């Protein structure tokens, strides 16, 4: 009788135990944020010490899922023993590291003594499996594809990559109810028609061309509804929805077709945040919320309206830099125009004029109001003998109308701490032109006030770059 009574009590507790939901505030987050991951690219060597540290913790069940084509281990980390299974994987594209850092942060959150009540409130409800850094070879080379040159996220059906096979194997063996597919998106997406950057984009991927909504996709959309509510508190206006076109070869769409409630989380850019630390923090906060929501089925209270209301990404809606209201003259026609500039930060570091005219529908990471200023093509300073530039001498040359140097690089010694343009190819002449280098001068009736030097805007009077690249 006693035993029966006890098991009834335990069963009743099991039914009524609520998840002791935590919300990770910004200051909480700083406590658990893993150090040394604020970098433009992350490889296995960056996360290995973090994994080693957590391997010793009996909370986590580490197992090696397999290895990449070049023999780097891919780990899966399980926590909890509940019937509802949640699987999150990151960086199947090697040059998309943001969520890998977030998974390291999440390990720290999960391991914290302060969160023992939280953990024990959901550990018998869900099993969480984390697979950080699915494509370590691509990560080491800082490229999207794996070492065979194959985009793993177009290999869900062909399964020709070891890494793609590992992910499919994990899905078939673990049989997740929820899949969290973690990526980075390009920095030029705006939120719908707004001028705000899509710092996070979400999607419940379709499983067919018709984009039908079955029970599994409904749950994914409901969970995104909860994520939207959280984003409205944390960073209003910066959440968008990723392109929902069915992609037969991709893992998210394939998993959706296998009945897994799949949520794509895309980390995007934010002004002044080159290493996407804003999106990293939001990822961690969204993942913690997802654990809460899935464990106590809170997401089921969402209608699909919240999901439908999230605006789609607008490709090209954000520019690297906008210079607005600049005066130009072409064949006697005066005009005031906006210039959109693109910075090739990863490749040849060349900043170009991308577009000219009314750019008021776009947002930007850097903006300069050029009202009252006039475009002026810079003169070329020929290098024939050794030239040592100090700050005052260089500023004087710019004020005289020079914008760049031409000649043997070894002749120029730049001691000014200011950017210098040497041997530019195809500069604009009388007026700015598309696709030409972003190097010219801005003047008013008293003379040159600013110099745009390969996209960096130098204010002559204060000798400061207004938009240092890398900020
Ligand atoms: Zn990706």
**Could you read off the pLDDT of 370-412 as tens digits, one per residue?**
999 999 999 999 999 999 999 999 999 999 999 999 999 999 9
Q: Which pLDDT score, from 0 to 100, does residue 15 have?
A: 53
Partners of 387 in the β-ladder:
412
Long-range CB pairs of 51-59, under 8 A, 24+ apart, other chains included = 51/75, 51/77, 51/132, 54/107, 54/111, 57/111, 59/110, 59/111, 59/119
Cα(136) to centroid(ligand 1), Å: 14
**Region class of 450: left (phi > 0), else alpha (psi between -120 and 50), else beta:** beta
Let me know whether 379 and 270 are in one domain.
no
Residue 1 covered by a domain: no
Q: Which pLDDT score, from 0 to 100, does residue 9 have?
A: 47
Cα(318) to centroid(ligand 1), Å: 19
Let me know whether 120 and 90 are in one domain.
yes
Per-residue model confidence as pLDDT tens digits over 253-294: 999 999 999 999 999 999 989 899 999 999 999 999 999 999
- Taking residues 402-428, report their average pLDDT: 96
Let me know whether 323 and 308 are in one domain.
no
314, 346, 376 - which closes a domain: 314
Cα(276) to centroid(ligand 1), Å: 14
Q: How far is CA 231 from the centre of its chain?
A: 15
- Taking residues 437-457, report their average pLDDT: 97
Q: Is residue 17's pLDDT more than 80?
A: no
∠ CA 201-203-209 to the nearest 5 degrees? 135
Let me know whether 23 and 84 are in one domain.
yes
Q: Is residue 469's pLDDT more than 70?
A: no
- Taking residues 155-178, report their average pLDDT: 98
314, 343, 366 - which closes a domain: 314
Enclosing H/E stretch for 438: none
Cα(307) to centroid(ligand 1), Å: 21
Q: What is the DSSP letter of 469?
A: T
Cα(184) to centroid(ligand 1), Å: 5
Cα(144) to centroid(ligand 1), Å: 7
Cα(131) to centroid(ligand 1), Å: 15
CATH code, domain carrying 415: 2.30.40.10
| Number of domains making up the chain | 2
Enclosing H/E stretch for 351: strand 351-357
Cα(252) to centroid(ligand 1), Å: 11
Partners of 64 in the β-ladder:
75
Q: Which pLDDT score, from 0 to 100, does residue 88 have?
A: 99
Cα(278) to centroid(ligand 1), Å: 18
299, 314, 329 - which closes a domain: 314
Q: Is residue 16's pLDDT more than 70?
A: no
Let me know whether 282 and 332 are in one domain.
no
Residue 6 covered by a domain: no
Tell whether the torsion through CA atoms of 109, 114, 120 and 122 is positive or negative.
Answer: negative
- Taking residues 287-304, report their average pLDDT: 98
Cα(179) to centroid(ligand 1), Å: 15
Residue 252 covered by a domain: yes
Q: Is residue 329's pLDDT more than 90?
A: yes
Query: The domain containing residue 293 runs over which residues?
Result: 18-314
Let me know whether 154 and 301 are in one domain.
yes
Q: Is residue 10's pLDDT more than 90?
A: no
Residue 2 covered by a domain: no
Cα(181) to centroid(ligand 1), Å: 9
Q: What percent of the chain has pLDDT over 70?
A: 95
Per-residue model confidence as pLDDT tens digits over 340-373: 999 986 667 899 999 999 999 999 999 999 999 9
């Amino acid at each position: 009788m006693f035993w029966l009574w006890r098991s009834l009590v335990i069963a009743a507790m099991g039914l009524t135990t609520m998840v002791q939901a935590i919300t990770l505030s910004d200051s909480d987050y700083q406590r658990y944020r893993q150090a040394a991951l604020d970098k433009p690219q992350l490889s296995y060597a960056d996360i290995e010490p973090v994994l080693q540290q957590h391997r010793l913790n009996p909370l986590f069940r580490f197992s090696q899922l397999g290895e990449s084509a070049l023999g780097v281990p891919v780990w899966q980390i399980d926590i909890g023993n509940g019937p509802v299974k949640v699987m999150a994987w990151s960086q199947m594209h090697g040059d998309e590291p943001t969520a890998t850092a977030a998974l390291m942060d999440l390990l720290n959150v999960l391991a914290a003594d302060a969160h023992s009540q939280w953990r024990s409130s959901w550990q018998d409800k869900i099993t969480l499996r984390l697979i950080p850094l699915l494509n370590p070879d691509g990560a080491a080379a800082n490229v999207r594809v794996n070492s065979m040159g194959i985009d793993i996220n177009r290999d869900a059906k062909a399964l020709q990559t070891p890494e793609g096979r590992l992910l499919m194997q994990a899905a078939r063996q673990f049989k997740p109810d929820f899949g969290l597919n973690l990526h980075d998106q390009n920095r030029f997406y705006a939120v719908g028609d707004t001028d705000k950057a899509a710092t996070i984009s979400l999607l419940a991927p379709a499983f067919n061309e018709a984009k039908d909504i079955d029970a599994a996709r409904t749950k994914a959309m409901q969970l995104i509804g909860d994520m939207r509510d959280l984003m409205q508190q944390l960073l209003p206006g910066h959440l968008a929805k990723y392109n929902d076109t069915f992609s037969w070869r991709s893992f998210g769409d394939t998993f959706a077709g296998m009945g897994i409630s799949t949520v794509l989380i895309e980390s995007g850019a934010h002004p002044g945040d080159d290493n996407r630390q804003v999106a990293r923090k939001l990822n961690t906060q969204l993942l913690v919320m997802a654990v809460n929501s899935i464990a106590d089925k809170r997401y089921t209270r969402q209608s699909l309206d919240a999901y439908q209301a999230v605006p789609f990404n607008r490709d090209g809606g954000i520019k690297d830099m906008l210079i607005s209201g600049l005066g130009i003259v072409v064949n006697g026609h005066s005009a005031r125009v906006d210039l959109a500039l693109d910075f090739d930060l990863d490749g040849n570091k060349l900043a170009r004029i991308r577009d000219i005219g009314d750019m008021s529908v776009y947002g930007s990471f850097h903006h300069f109001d050029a009202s009252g200023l006039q475009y002026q093509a810079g003169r070329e300073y020929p290098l024939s003998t050794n030239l040592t530039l100090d700050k005052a001498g260089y500023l004087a040359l710019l004020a005289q109308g020079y914008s760049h140097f031409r000649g043997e690089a070894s002749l120029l010694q730049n001691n000014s701490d200011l950017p210098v343009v040497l041997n530019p190819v195809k500069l604009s002449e009388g007026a700015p032109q598309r696709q030409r280098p972003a190097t010219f001068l801005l003047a008013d009736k008293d003379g040159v006030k600013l110099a745009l030097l390969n996209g960096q805007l130098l204010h002559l009077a204060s000798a400061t770059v207004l938009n240092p690249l890398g900020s």
